[in-house]
Chains A and B, each alone.
Chain A
Amino acid sequence: MTHAVLPGAPRGALHAMIRVFNVNKTSWAGLVILLAVIVIAVFAPLFTAHDPLAQDVTRQLSGPSMEHLFGTDEYGRDTWARLIYGARVSLAIGIASTVIAMLVGSSIGLLAGWYGGRFDAVMMQVMDVLLAFPSLILGLVIVAMLGASTPNIVFAIALTSIPPFARIARAPTIALKEREYVEACRSLGYSDARILLVHILPNIAAEIVVMGSLWLANAIRTEASLAFIGLGIKPPTPTWGGMIRSGFENILDSAWLAVVPSLAILIVIFALNLLGDGLRDAVDPKLKNEA
């Protein structure tokens, strides 16, 4: 089948989701883990009796126990409590920056692809430069210059995540622009806004959302990396990257302090990647038609 370049038209979102997950069973695992993490983060107080900020000088660097499932840190704070409250920070910053990048990036891509010409050339040149420059370094410099506040971190991560969304939106827009049904729209006298919003955007939205789930993983990773370097949300607010950073300072005698948040990050990113990968397979028409 050469003509079915567009994803087939789903009857409803739910139906589509179920079909997606039947194609790729590992995405179920990703979704379940992710939902679990979100539930635990949102209802964090229900999952621990400890205050993540409460220090206890009598229990510094104590190992895992019944009282403290994953032990305590150098201030005697409960690692599990810090972990699940830290998930809030990771998820909030990750989601906020990804949503911003998604909105800005795909708008740029859509408009650049549709209007082409000089606007396209300039925008894509900017995107290419942004994409090629090491994103972590760029994020580092922005956060260091503006100060390590939540909005600044969100801004820095969002900025470095815009180019992939611009690209993922632009390529199919250009392809669709040449498509005969879009030419038909033009010859029927539809406005640009109508063509873009009614006839192009819905056909590329799925790809953008898939990209979003993959870049959410990246945003969480970047936030943790910044915190690990020491440019994250300021202590004592728990963040996963910050926990690994302080755990790393005690790695010779209290390895779990670094290992537990490391695994937490790994699991969440892995879950997001599983989910995004499964979704991508389901959305990718080339793979779907063979399956």
Chain B
Amino acid sequence: MGEPVLSVRDLTTSFRGPQGWTPVVKGLSFDLGPRETLAIVGESGSGKSVTALSLLKLVPAANGRVEGSALLGGRNLLSLPEGEMCRIRGNEIAMIFQEPMTSLNPVLTVGDQISEALILHRGMDRVAVRAESLHILDRVRIPAARERLDEYPHRFSGGMRQRVMIAMALACRPKVLIADEPTTALDVTVQAQILDLIRSLQDEFGMGVVFITHDMGVVAEIADRVLVMLRGDKVEEGETARIFTGPAHAYTRRLLAAVPTLGSMRGEAAPRKMPDFTEGGESAGPSAAPDRSPAYHDEPLLEVKGLTTRFEMRSGLLRRVSGRVHAVENVSFSLARGETLSLVGESGCGKSTTGRSILRLVEPLSGSVRFEGREAIGMGGAQLKALRRDMQMIFQDPYASLNPRIPVGRAIAEPIVVHGLAGRREAEERAADLLEKVGLEPGMATRLPHEFSGGQRQRVCIARALALSPKLIVADEAVSALDVSIKAQVLNLMLDLQSSLGLSYLFISHDMATVERVSHRIAVMYLGEIVEIGPRAAIIENPQHPYTRKLLSAVPVPDPARRGTRPPLPAEDLPSPVRAPDFVPPERIWRTVSQGHLVQEPS
């Protein structure tokens, strides 16, 4: 490894709370070599982000305390006075953050923000600063850098803003770059671009990178060494290949086992549960596949034809329609009883709006949604209320999905009472049963949502959705906000419920690896349209549409041996689904690849 550029010893960071000081990072030590990438991995609450802030001394002094040492170029950062530290931050050690949308100052131009560090640390004059800023903006591969230098951040997409953040951080050629979840908020194809960029700039600038992430796939792609954290402690550290092939610590093994790997289901038709690994227990191995297969020969439960949902954008004094978001455009598919169809795609592709349109949470413009042969579009009042007993939804954010003031038992019982299925008392008994069914204690019914963890809340949401004994559940990114280990448990619960109750799922997700695990069939959405649909194996193993291929190849695979096999992606944004008011969507031609596998001919 050579002489380390950054050497951290006994880093302990504590925060003051109502019960005194609580350590969040406990005696962490590690070295970072030049040109080396060290990934710090952990789930939420592991202290990985606090570690990053501690190294730059950005922990608020009022209620945070940092102890230990961090040697950079022979000086201990943690004991430097603030004035000295200002000369080092952005100069010798730089940082990029998770949220590119909010991390740039909206009232300063991109050029101003990049040149700020150069003026501070390099004392350059106006002309030199401008030339250098332009140079660095070119280096992070922002197209038309010269024009974009004088633009404000709101004109940049998330991916482009993250490039600007990187340009800012690297402007003074720091020895160490700390990247705190830099791709977590980005779409998978953009993530792949940013990872490529960080890697190539690292080679060019010869810096050490501390890469903080929760995503084992990203770790496998980028890290030389891995440090695994659990509740403020380092549990394991080692070469990336060694960590993936022979993890020493039980927690690392559980973490790796919980990560779905794209392509791991080759040759299997049905979804498969994740290995069970409740904390403390070792992996119990994959359990049997669900014993019920979808009823393909019956009439489909749900049949969607030509579903189109658009949102009008108005502007100007007269609020004239200046454009339309073609959120869902001529979408058709069917769903059998007991089947899981996944809608996958990146942000803005219309997958969520499709789900909401089917449930009539947004009004579709046209198309047909037949549920058990009845047309749902245009249904009103009592009919719609009755239909809602059969279709339910689970949402992404388990914190926002429950009314904070209503005890969970009452929240689960409420729909039963509202639909007149039972009296209050009986409904509450049923709620207790449902809690048990989703793996919670019936005694928890009197607790308020804030007394539950994220995973438990998602279980409560599932219980509430089940209260009306629905036939279809639309799961909109239902496990995306959960930590990997919790995610696996909730997925397993959903699969169990499917096999015991014969539920159909419309599983909306951006995460290809999870989708592969749970689906019978997959539909890929792009700019409001389905571009390819078919059986799971066909889509994953034999993708036809260029976008499907791009999406699949961008997914980071948690296997360091397969690193670098992906062709680099050009720096580009996702196109926007906003069209002019007079836009007429083109006619699409479909090609049948194999039985049930259809692909849209690229226009």
Contact = CB atoms under 8 A, between A and B. Distances in A.
B497 interface: no
Given A9-B448, A202-B405, A187 B391 contact: yes
Interface string A1-44: 00111111100000000000000000000000000000000000
Contacts of B405: 9, 202-203
Contacts of B419: 189
B396 A8 contact: no
B400 A194 contact: no
A188 B403 contact: no
Contact of A187 (B359, B396, B399, B450): B359
Given A189-B418, A189-B419, A184 B464 contact: yes
Contacts of A188: 388, 392, 414-415, 418, 464, 467-468
Interface in B381-422: 384-385, 388-389, 391-393, 395-397, 399-406, 414-415, 418-419
B418 A186 contact: no
Contact of A180 (B359, B388, B395): B395
B284 interface: no
B461 interface: yes
Contacts of B391: 187
A199 interface: yes
Given A180-B396, A183-B361, A184-B464, A189 B388 contact: yes
A9 B402 CA distance: 12
Interface in B445-476: 448-450, 461, 464-465, 467-468
Given A189-B384, A189-B415, A199 B392 contact: no
Taking residues whose C-beta sits less than 8 angstroms from the other chain, chain A's interface range is 20 to 34
A189 B392 CA distance: 10
Taking residues whose C-beta sits less than 8 angstroms from the other chain, chain B's interface range is 20 to 34
A132 B550 CA distance: 54
B397 to A, nearest CB: 6
Which of B356, B400, B461 has the most C-beta atoms of chain A within 10 angstroms of its own C-beta?
B400
A176 to B, nearest CB: 9
A208 B96 CA distance: 40
Interface in A178-192: 179-181, 183-184, 186-190
Nearest to B359: A187
A186 B391 CA distance: 12
Interface string B414-436: 11001100000000000000000
Contacts of B402: 181
A8 B450 contact: yes
Contact of B399 (A3, A9, A190, A199): A3
Given A8-B450, A9-B450, A189-B385, A180 B401 contact: yes
Contacts of B448: 9
Contacts of B389: 189
A8 B404 contact: yes
Nearest to A6: B404
Nearest to B60: A290
Contact of A3 (B392, B397, B467): B397
B399 A4 contact: yes
Nearest to B454: A3
Given A4-B399, A189-B415, A184 B404 contact: no
B97 to A, nearest CB: 14
Nearest to B356: A183
A85 B404 CA distance: 45
Contacts of B395: 180, 183-184
Nearest to B386: A189
A209 to B, nearest CB: 15
Given A9-B405, A203-B405, A187 B361 contact: yes
B385 A180 contact: no
Contacts of B415: 188-190
Contacts of B401: 180-181, 184
Contacts of B450: 4, 8-9
A18 B128 CA distance: 60
Given A194-B418, A199-B403, A203-B404, A186 B392 contact: no
Nearest to A191: B418
A200 to B, nearest CB: 9
Contacts of B399: 3-4
Interface string B541-556: 0000000000000000
Contact of A186 (B361, B403, B414, B449): B361
Nearest to B384: A189
Interface string A200-235: 001100000000000000000000000000000000
Contacts of B396: 180
Given A3-B400, A9-B448, A184 B393 contact: yes
Contacts of A6: 404
A191 B450 CA distance: 26
Contacts of B393: 183-184, 187
Contacts of B403: 181, 199, 203
Contacts of B388: 187-189
B384 to A, nearest CB: 7
Interface string B358-381: 010100000000000000000000
Contacts of B361: 183, 186-187
Contacts of A203: 403-405
A22 to B, nearest CB: 11
Contacts of A186: 361
B140 to A, nearest CB: 28
Contacts of B397: 3, 180
A197 to B, nearest CB: 12
A163 to B, nearest CB: 22
Contacts of A189: 384-385, 388-389, 415, 418-419
B184 to A, nearest CB: 13
Which of A6, A181, A188 has the most C-beta atoms of chain B within 10 angstroms of its own C-beta?
A188
Interface in A139-167: none
A230 B217 CA distance: 76
Given A3-B397, A189-B384, A184 B359 contact: no
A246 B449 CA distance: 59
Nearest to A178: B400
A184 B393 CA distance: 7
A95 B392 CA distance: 46
A291 to B, nearest CB: 10
B392 A179 contact: no
Contact of A181 (B385, B392, B400, B468): B400
Contacts of B356: 183
Contacts of A187: 359, 361, 388, 391-393
Contacts of A179: 400
Nearest to A187: B393
A190 B418 contact: yes
Interface string A44-81: 00000000000000000000000000000000000000
A188 to B, nearest CB: 4
A190 B361 CA distance: 12
Contacts of B406: 199
A184 B408 CA distance: 14
Contacts of A7: 404
Contacts of A181: 400-403
Interface in A63-121: none
A9 B405 CA distance: 5
Contacts of A9: 404-405, 448-450
A184 B418 contact: no
A179 B396 CA distance: 11
5 contacts: A3-B399, A7-B404, A180-B400, A188-B388, A202-B405
Given A180-B401, A184-B393, A187-B361, 4 more contacts: A181-B403, A184-B461, A187-B388, A187-B393
Q: Give the 8 A-B residue pairs with the shortest CB-CB distance, closest first.
A: A3-B399, A189-B388, A180-B395, A189-B385, A188-B415, A180-B401, A180-B400, A9-B405
